[in-house]
């Protein structure tokens, strides 16, 4: 064979609850590369996905519902997921899609109520009140919660979860340029509303 190793790839059951890929070399070296189970993926990302759901919904009961729906959908689709997939981005995408579709359903029901509401920005030149940091943060969070959904989700993914624009684009099913535009437009609105206090 002239110094070349011959590789044999086989898939076999290692135990009742763990499967893996075994690669055998002609020198009888065996390497095991375990396949991740749904529980493994969940263990790695569950806190982060729940935190994301909480950022989106801004309350624990709705975050619990969004988190549960996300995990149910992920569990059902896990068998169809490519072994080399980015599980973190995949879970974020499911959570994002579940949130946005839920908001669309809610908007169809409450469209008349939403039409009467407007966002009233705080006068950025009014420094007389000298708000404390907690109050300012509460106001910013409230303002962000009223942004258009795609801008809000893009901003949360970028600023709170430090996702790349490519991952944000994948989650929002848009181009990377559109993801950048959503983040920058959301930031522009926040800065316009809060001026130099932010």
Confidence of residue 103 (pLDDT cuts 50, 70, 90): confident
Q: Are residues 11 and 63 in the same domain?
A: no
The distance from CA 62 to its chain's CA centroid, rounded to whole angstroms, is 16
| Domain that residue 10 falls in | 1-35
Q: Which two tokens stand for residue 73?
A: 């959908």
Task: Give the lowest-confidence range in 31-45, 48-62, 67-81, 112-126.
Answer: 112-126
Q: pTM to 2 decimals?
A: 0.57
Residue 141 makes CB contacts below 8 A (sequence gap 6+) with: 58
pLDDT at 33 over 80: no
Q: Are residues 120 and 84 in the same domain?
A: yes
Q: Are residues 3 and 71 in the same domain?
A: no
What percentage of residues in the chain have a pLDDT greater than 90? 40
């Amino acid at each position: 064979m002239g110094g070349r190793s011959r590789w044999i790839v086989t898939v076999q059951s290692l135990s009742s609850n763990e499967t893996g890929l075994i690669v055998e070399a002609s020198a009888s070296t065996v390497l095991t590369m375990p396949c991740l189970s749904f529980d493994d993926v969940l263990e790695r990302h569950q806190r982060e996905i729940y935190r994301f759901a909480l950022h989106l919904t801004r309350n624990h009961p709705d975050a619990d519902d969004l988190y549960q729906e996300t995990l149910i959908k992920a569990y059902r689709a896990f068998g169809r997921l490519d072994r080399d997939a980015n599980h973190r981005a995949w879970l974020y995408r499911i959570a994002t899609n579940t949130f946005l579709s839920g908001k669309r359903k809610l908007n169809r029901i409450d469209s008349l109520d939403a039409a009467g509401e407007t966002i009233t920005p705080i006068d950025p030149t009014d420094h007389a009140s000298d708000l404390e940091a907690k109050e300012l943060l509460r106001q910013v969070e409230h303002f962000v919660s009223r942004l258009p959904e795609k801008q809000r989700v893009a901003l949360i993914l970028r600023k709170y979860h430090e996702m790349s624009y490519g991952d944000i684009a994948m989650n929002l099913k848009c181009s990377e340029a559109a993801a950048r535009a959503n983040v920058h437009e959301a930031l522009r609105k926040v800065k316009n509303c809060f001026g130099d206090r932010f």
